[in-house]
Amino acid sequence: MPTLGRFRKPRKEEDEKTAIPPAEDKEVLNKTYLKAMPLRDLSDLEAIKNEVQSGNILILRITPLASKSIEDVKRAVNELYEFAESIGGDIARLGEERIVICPQNIRIWREKTPVSNEPLPTAA
């Protein structure tokens, strides 16, 4: 019977080794993390940009900001789009309430829908 030893509580020194470092230390470690964050206010944009510049991929839930102001959501998405383009990153919508933003060297795959040459049906 297999043991459950691999699920034991880590010792303190193991905990320190595996703890996720702050964003500014990630360049040294050269690791990319996938993080989920809510976008609650326009002031969150600077922290989001810092995370992406550090090489992290962010999934942002925009519902908290959308419940306050749709205009702020548009402003935030436009600013993040321009930021992603300026650093050579990528940004895309994930459904109705999330967006993903990636640093440079990471691209978001988008399925291309085939375009047919047939005329579109009309109501007439």
pLDDT at residue number 1: 46
pLDDT at residue number 55: 94
Is 45:20 a contact under the CB 8 Å cutoff? no
Domain boundaries, the chain: 34-107
Q: What is the pTM of this model?
A: 0.66
CATH class (in words) of the domain with range 34-107: alpha beta
**Rounded CA gap, 46 and 111, in Å?**
30
DSSP 3-state of 94: strand
**Rounded CA gap, 42 and 12, in Å?**
37
Model confidence pLDDT, tens digit, residues 41-80: 999 999 999 999 999 999 999 999 999 999 999 999 999 9
Model confidence pLDDT, tens digit, residues 14-38: 444 455 555 555 444 678 999 999 9
Tokens representing 60? 């942002």
- C-alpha 60: how far from chain center: 6
**Rounded CA gap, 51 and 89, in Å?**
12
